[in-house]
Amino acid sequence: MNQSKNNTELHFDALPDILTVQQTRAVLGIGRTAVYRLLESGKIRCFQIGNAYKIPKASVLEFIQASCDRKGGV
């Protein structure tokens, strides 16, 4: 019998193409301040609408891939 997945488990494929800071926090498992640092440093590409940061999901994937490449892969 298959065990059902935890309802709180994050499903990256189910996320929208444009993420909020909160969704990016959940994906990366980091705090709000750390997300803002990554955005403001340009390590994760984003754009702003008013005061709200919008983060393309592809940018988060690129950041993850680049981080893995710097660490020698997974």
**Order of all β-strands in the sheet with 18-19:** 18-19, 52-56, 47-49
Residue 11 CA to chain centroid, in angstroms? 12
Q: What would the DSSP string read from start to end of 17-64?
A: SEE-HHHHHHHHT--HHHHHHHHHHTSS--EEETTEEEEEHHHHHHHH
- The two tokens of residue 68 are 């893995």
Q: What is the pTM of this model?
A: 0.78
pLDDT digits (tens, 9 = 90+) for 9-27: 567 788 999 999 999 999 9
pLDDT digits (tens, 9 = 90+) for 26-58: 999 999 999 999 999 999 999 999 999 999 999
